[in-house]
Amino acid sequence: MALKRMDNVGIVVEDLDVTIEFFRELGLNLEGRAMIEGEWAGRITGLGDQRVEIAMMRTPDGHSRLELSRFLAPRVVADHRNAPVNALGYLRVMFAVDDLDDTLERLRARGAELVGEVVQYMEAYRLCYIRGPEGILIGLAQELG
């Protein structure tokens, strides 16, 4: 059997509402919110009895999703939000945007900070990394031409 698709990328946050609004400003749509709880969910994650509020955000093309999770129980045990770009493990999500400057302006109004600088790769892309709500690392890419 072949791989069908990547379903979603999960990000654990403290403030679900602020993070939802940030990703809405970026252009994602809130698909839904739910409370995931109980022993059955803990069997998947290995965390035992858990209670997690989630929000599913969908990209405008409908092909990709972010699952934002706020753990109520068990409590969060580690914090990777301030890891540098060269840290091991999952680190960032990259989004293609139509207008990088406009996107940066709108996201800065919601607290986003540029990590380095906006750079141009050949005649193909303008790229940058930003830190969004709670220090989440996000890549932005504008295809040129």
Segment 43-98, tens digit of pLDDT: 888 888 899 999 999 999 999 999 999 999 998 888 887 788 788 777 789 999 99
Domains of the chain, CATH where assigned: 9-73 (3.10.180.10), 92-143 (3.10.180.10)
Segment 97-137, tens digit of pLDDT: 999 999 999 999 999 999 999 999 999 999 999 999 999 99
What is the DSSP pairing of strand 137-143 with strand 29-38? unpaired
**What are the distances in angstroms from CA 12 to CA 49, 75, 135?**
17, 11, 11
Record the pTM.
Answer: 0.89
- Give the separation between CA 81 and CA 103, rounded to whole angstroms: 22
